[in-house]
Amino acid sequence: MDDQQEIGTTIHTESKWLYVDSGRKMTDLLIAEKLFILTIDDERGEMPASVIAALRFGLAGALLAELTLANKFQLKEGRLLLIDPIVTHDGLFDEIMGMVALEQKPRKLIYWIEVIGRKQTVREVAERLAGRKVISIEKERYPWISPSIAYPQVDGSAKYCVKQRLREIILAKDQPEAADIILFSLLRACQLLRLVFTSDERRSASKKVEALAKGEIFGKSVAKLLEK
């Protein structure tokens, strides 16, 4: 089954794996996971069909960015180099590293975003989140569940925490980390900033995101791919 057939899959939150702190802890959500949950409709739990095509490449860019932040990959002249082949014991990451390792010469980042994006990336990220109990996946039902476990003072949903963090960076001028900048860049590339900011905020926020993410290579590559 490819990602285009996954629209009927139901996804809702059931999470204690929320934003942890500014450290890159194992319990913190990955860039791809944050991007994924932002696209889920609050009321029905559905992922709109209109975002699937862009999201799959956004997720691919996010996964490659995560491995680059972890010093598994390095970018040189726009090409992706595997610099640390030691397995991570994470099936999704090790599969991506294995694909890159098999190539006889380094390929451009945009090539790998397209290759990985055309795999079952949406499904794989959903299953990863479900395995970590960030979401559950059900067919034909679309309710959100928003328990207050890690953050009892707010509504407790993982999506709320991710969205609030992004809003604070742009609207309250909180200091962004590298992962935050990459996420903003990918949201902009996939034309999904509307999922974070209200219609009244969007114009000003978009300009700030553009300035913040200027030169960010992963989002830039996704945008270039989506323009084809």
pLDDT in tens, 101-138: 999 899 999 999 999 999 889 889 988 888 877 777 76
- Which residue matches tokens 């095509």? 53
How many whole angstroms separate alpha carbon 58 and alpha carbon 61?
5
What pLDDT, on a 0 to 100 scale, did the predictor assign at position 103? Answer: 94
What pLDDT, on a 0 to 100 scale, did the predictor assign at position 54? Answer: 94
In angstroms and rounded to an integer, the radius of gyration of the C-alpha atoms of the chain is 17
What pLDDT, on a 0 to 100 scale, did the predictor assign at position 120? Answer: 87
Positions in the chain whose pLDDT score sits under 50:
1-27, 140-156
* Structure tokens given for 27: 């319990």
What pLDDT, on a 0 to 100 scale, did the predictor assign at position 19? Answer: 27
Do 121 and 60 contact (CB within 8 A), yes or no? yes
How many whole angstroms separate alpha carbon 128 and alpha carbon 95?
14
- Which residue matches tokens 């900033």? 193
The pTM assigned to this predicted structure is: 0.82
- Which residue matches tokens 């610099």? 83
**Superfamily name with CATH number, domain 7-226:** yeast vps74-n-term truncation variant domain like (1.10.3630.10)
Residue boundaries of the structural domains of the chain = 7-226
Counting residues of the chain whose pLDDT is more than 90, the rounded percentage is: 62
